[in-house]
């Protein structure tokens, strides 16, 4: 934990997002509970028009837009990102629909303090278009994974997985909606696990 985050105050969490922010909102609601020893202290979006920005505003969560298009390279973008989370004295970063690949240097700097949610049962279907690929393969179950991030894309120890059935008439959109229905609970469960682990090792 950061020097200012005592065990009683709880973990200081930042959420990185690029889109509508449904997992951001779910995590915010979860951390707003008195029983959860964590505080969402910062939201960061790399897209100026991301829907999650409005969620932060509605919940009085400090939010920064760090547009990756304003930088010449990933290192410059990540330097500003690192500065933002460091200034906010963040203990844990949650990627929630954050559509930017982070460099090995950034991921290593935040080793075991950087987690991500991915719409597949890892290690299956890393990368994009997970639902269409699952349907193409004819799998019976699909789902989501919350995992510690490692330098390789969609790699790292899995914290929580939740499964959904694949139905005969599924399309990528209907399957995506069913997976999203379990993502929110999965991320909150994973956050609880990480909070306890970090508290035990503090």
Tens digits of residue pLDDT in 63-99: 999 999 999 999 999 999 999 999 999 999 999 999 9
Residue 97: inside a domain:
yes
Domain of 150: which CATH number?
3.40.50.170
How many domains is the chain partitioned into structurally?
Answer: 1
Which residues lie across from 39 on neighbouring strands? 12
- Tell me, what's the pLDDT at 1? 46
- Tell me, what's the pLDDT at 99? 94
Percent of the chain with pLDDT over 90: 94
Residue 69: inside a domain:
yes
Digit-coded pLDDT (tens) for 52-66: 999 999 999 999 999
Percent of the chain with pLDDT over 70: 96
Give the domain range for residue 35: 11-121+144-162+184-201
Q: Please tell me which residue, 107 or 202, carries the higher pLDDT value.
A: 107
Q: What is the mean pLDDT of the chain?
A: 95
Residue 28: inside a domain:
yes
Residue 83: inside a domain:
yes
The token pair at 36 is 């959860």
Digit-coded pLDDT (tens) for 131-153: 999 999 999 999 999 999 999 99
Residue 168: inside a domain:
no
Of the candidates 30, 82, 111, 118, the residue annotated as catalytic is 118
**Residue 188: is its pLDDT beyond 80?**
yes
- Tell me, what's the pLDDT at 9? 62
- Tell me, what's the pLDDT at 202? 77
Residue 87: inside a domain:
yes
CB proximity list for 188: less than 8 A, separation 6 or greater: 26, 27, 30
Residue 114: inside a domain:
yes
Residue 5: inside a domain:
no
- Tell me, what's the pLDDT at 3? 39
Active-site residue, 118 included: yes
């Amino acid at each position: 934990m950061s020097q200012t985050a005592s065990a009683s105050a709880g973990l200081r969490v930042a959420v990185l997002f690029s889109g509508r922010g449904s997992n951001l909102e779910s995590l915010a609601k979860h951390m707003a509970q008195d029983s959860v020893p964590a505080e969402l202290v910062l939201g960061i979006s790399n897209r100026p028009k991301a829907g999650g920005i409005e969620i932060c505003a509605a919940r009085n969560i400090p939010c920064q837009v760090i547009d990756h298009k304003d930088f010449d390279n990933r290192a410059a973008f990540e330097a500003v990102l690192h500065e933002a989370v460091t200034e906010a004295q963040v203990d844990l970063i949650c990627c929630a629909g954050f559509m930017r690949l982070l460099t090995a240097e950034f991921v290593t700097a935040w080793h075991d303090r950087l987690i991500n949610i991915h719409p597949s049962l890892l290690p299956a279907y890393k990368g994009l278009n997970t639902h269409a690929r699952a349907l193409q393969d004819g799998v019976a179950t699909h789902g989501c994974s919350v995992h510690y991030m490692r330098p390789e894309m969609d790699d790292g120890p899995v914290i929580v997985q939740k499964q959904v059935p694949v139905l005969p008439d599924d399309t990528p959109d209907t399957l995506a909606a069913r997976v999203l229905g379990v993502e929110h609970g999965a991320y909150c469960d994973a956050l609880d696990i990480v909070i306890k682990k970090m508290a035990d090792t503090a």
